[in-house]
Amino acid sequence: MKAYETHESSENYLESILMLSMDHKVVRSIDIANMLSFSKPSVSVAMKRLREEGMILVDENGYITLTDAGMAIAKGTYEKHVVITNLLVDMGVNAYTAGQDACRIEHVLSPETFARIKEYYLKSHPEGVPELDTILEFQQTKPFFNK
């Protein structure tokens, strides 16, 4: 499944698991529910679906990890979120509004459109996108995360 073909809900859950994993030793359904302000039963249903789709693994303790496929979608969604947020802030949008708008925009962009947005952004930011380096550093320090 290509990232562009996923559902917004799945992308949000996968991105949330990635973000929580960078701040927590383990990720549980309750952590996701608290982060997204969703009910525990709603998150449980979503985790079951993501597990069946091969996007996550859930161990006997209820700890959630991303598979390679889940990580690819989570990283792609997070990258879109960060680049779009930063671009909107550069344009004068306050950071909170930019982040909220980016969260909605990131799910409807085609890969082609996002590639052009990122290319445009990087022209004025040759240093890259520092927030994305966090993911690479995280993966190097927790190689067990991708299973």
C-alpha distances (whole Å) from 116 to each of 41, 98, 102, 119, 135 are 39, 19, 16, 5, 22
* Measured CA distances, 34 to 20, 40, 42, 100 (Å): 11, 8, 12, 18
In tens, the pLDDT along 38-49 reads: 999 999 999 999
CB 66 within 8 A of CB 56: yes
- Cα torsion 86, 92, 95, 99: sign: negative
β-bridge partners, 65: 57
Return the closest-CA partner of residue 15 out of 60, 82, 63.
82
Residue boundaries of the structural domains of the chain? 3-70, 80-141
Q: How confident is the model at residue 138 (pLDDT cuts 50, 70, 90)?
A: low
Backbone φ, ψ for residue 28 (5° rounding)? -120, 165
Provide the pLDDT for residue 135.
63
Helix, strand, coil proportions of the chain in percent (round to 5)?
70, 5, 25
Please report the sign of the dihedral spanned by the C-alpha atoms of residue 17, residue 73, residue 104, residue 9. Answer: negative
CATH topology of domain 3-70: Arc Repressor Mutant, subunit A (1.10.10)
Helix (H/G/I), strand (E/B), else coil: 65: strand
Categorize the per-residue pLDDT at 98 as very low, low, confident or very high, splitting at 50, 70 and 90: very high
The one-character DSSP state at 37 is: T
Residue 2 has pLDDT above 80, yes or no: no
Q: Comparing 2 with 117, which gets the higher pLDDT?
A: 117
Task: Tell me the average pLDDT of the chain.
Answer: 86
